[in-house]
Chain A
Amino acid sequence: DADVTQTPRNRITKTGKRIMLECSQTKGHDRMYWYRQDPGLGLRLIYYSFDVKDINKGEISDGYSVSRQAQAKFSLSLESAIPNQTALYFCATSDWGPPNSGTSGDEQFFGPGTRLTVL
Chain B
Amino acid sequence: AQSVTQLDSHVSVSEGTPVLLRCNYSSSYSPSLFWYVQHPNKGLQLLLKYTSAATLVKGINGFEAEFKKSETSFHLTKPSAHMSDAAEYFCVVSDHGGSQGNLIFGKGTKLSVKP
Contacts and interface: CB of A to CB of B under 8 A. Distances in A.
A41 B104 CA distance: 12
Question: Chain A interface: which size bin?
Answer: 20 to 34
Interface string A88-100: 0010001010010
A57 B94 CA distance: 17
B20 interface: no
A90 B101 contact: no
Interface in A59-112: 90, 94, 96, 99, 105-108, 110-112
Contacts of A108: 103
Contacts of B105: 35, 42-44
Interface stretch (B42-50, B58-66, B68-76, B78-86): B42-50
B105 to A, nearest CB: 4
Question: Chain B interface: which size bin?
Answer: 20 to 34
A107 B107 contact: no
Interface in A17-63: 31, 33, 35, 40-45, 48, 56, 58
B107 A40 contact: yes
A41 B107 contact: yes
Given A96-B100, A96-B101, A90 B44 contact: yes
Contacts of B52: 99
Given A43-B90, A90-B44, A105 B32 contact: yes
List 7 A-B pairs, minimum CB-CB distance, nearest first: A96-B101, A106-B94, A42-B105, A110-B44, A43-B105, A106-B32, A42-B107
Interface of A: 31, 33, 35, 40-45, 48, 56, 58, 90, 94, 96, 99, 105-108, 110-113
Given A42-B90, A107-B34, 19 more contacts: A33-B102, A42-B105, A42-B107, A45-B102, A58-B102, A90-B43, A90-B44, A94-B101, A105-B32, A105-B49, A105-B51, A105-B101, A106-B49, A106-B101, A106-B103, A107-B49, A108-B103, A110-B44, A110-B45
